[in-house]
Amino acid sequence: MIFVRTALLSLRMLSRSPLRAVLAVLGIAVAVLLLCAERAMHEGVTEATSANERDTRLIVYRANRFCPFTSRIPERYTDDIMRIPGVKSAIPMQIVVSNCRASLDVIVFRGVRAADAERTLGPRLHFRAGSMRDFLGRGDGALVGSALAERRHLKVGDLLNSAGVAVTVCGIVEAEGPQDRNACFVQLPFLQSANGRAQGGEVTQFEVEVDDPRRLSEVAAAIDEHFASDATPTSTRAEKAFVARAAEDLVAIARFAGWLGLGALVAVFALVANSIVLSLEGRTREIAILQSIGFKSTAVAWTVLVESTTLAMLGSILGAGVAYAILAFGKFGLGAEGVQVEFRPSISLSLVAIGASVCVGIAAGAVPAISVARRPIVEGLKTS
């Protein structure tokens, strides 16, 4: 019971310096907002690049090429790839991007054949609006991934014009992978001839599905070996490995951002510690009086810990809430070389940020709490 009363006393003391408390809470909120942004970036990179035992997809690219603008492979490779043991399907795909460098708003057009769209893409795409029939019935039709549609505020019937390609939205689709959620699927012949490219017979890459996840490396090696002596050799990787290589700059940015997250926790520690120290300096005599009328050292330390925990909790909840709202409504992401990394909010991420900040806040208040509890009563009473 005594700890409840001392906790209430601590909160009253905290309210005696409202401006200092508000400034500390706002500073902590900004630090936690940065921490949540860094964690969202890290999770987005991890989702896009981390392989698992269920992955069955390979990307066949032109050897020694990087940006989609430079990768050109004969479409006739499709039949050769399908004859390789272990290959379940092979989709020739033309990629056109609005910007090959790292950018916050990249439009990725993926040209696919009508048969592949219906037979292979259809099962992994879930329609929010529109239909596959509408898409196949219109030459300039497009299926827009849900993340791209939300970022560009697109709906069925809207026009999308980017990178010299103008399409009509015939469907909004949801998918598991971030690359599909951020892509704009169009018909292959249309994209091959769009903007005067006249690249009929050539594609950017092949999307290959294998029948057994354990054979990914084996099938990839077989594909590259088959075309090694051809005029257009290939480089085949698992989809996640391909994304990781294409997004090397984004991975480096995420690694650097890790220091930002660490700095945010240090800032929380400094802000809480500074606020507590200033608060204790202003009421040293009051604490000594409390000790003289029977307050134990543990109770005094408890009041300080309650104050530091309250500041950290209020600031972290505010910061995490604002970060969640910004990430949810902003639909932020980074794209590079035709691949996309999403910064998606999550409740678990917010709870982790709040928990880490509260722990740091408790640690920041522990040293002042122990110090004030051990201070002699006479010394405190001498303070004017």
Among residues 58, 53, 47, which one has the least CA distance to residue 238?
58
More confident residue, 183 or 252: 183
Average confidence (pLDDT) over 40-64: 78
Other CB atoms within a 10 A radius of the CB of residue 12 amount to 10
Contacts within 8 Å (CB) and 24+ apart, 375-379: 375/284, 375/287, 375/288, 377/288, 377/291, 377/292, 378/288, 379/288
Question: Is the pLDDT confidence value at 192 over 90?
Answer: no
- Pairwise CA distance, residues 212 & 203, whole Å: 26
Average confidence (pLDDT) over 9-14: 64
> What confidence category does residue 185 fall into, taking pLDDT thresholds of 50, 70 and 90?
very high
> What confidence category does residue 318 fall into, taking pLDDT thresholds of 50, 70 and 90?
very high
Average confidence (pLDDT) over 90-98: 88
Say what the pLDDT of residue 68 is. 83
> What confidence category does residue 69 fall into, taking pLDDT thresholds of 50, 70 and 90?
confident
Q: What is the pLDDT of residues 228-238, one digit of tens each?
A: 988 889 998 88
- One-letter identity of residue 31: A
Q: What is the pLDDT of residues 364-375, one digit of tens each?
A: 878 776 776 666
Question: Is the pLDDT confidence value at 100 over 60?
Answer: yes
List the domain boundaries for the chain. 2-48+249-382, 64-232
Mean of per-residue pLDDT scores for the chain: 80
Question: Is the pLDDT confidence value at 225 over 90?
Answer: yes
Say what the pLDDT of residue 6 is. 59
**Least confidently predicted of 115-129, 221-235, 237-251, 285-299:** 285-299
**Least confidently predicted of 19-23, 81-85, 276-280:** 276-280
Question: Is the pLDDT confidence value at 359 over 70?
Answer: yes
Say what the pLDDT of residue 150 is. 87
Pair of tokens at residue 271: 């802000």
Among residues 232, 193, 181, which one has the least CA distance to residue 339?
181
Among residues 57, 143, 74, which one has the least CA distance to residue 108?
143
Question: Is the pLDDT confidence value at 129 over 60?
Answer: yes
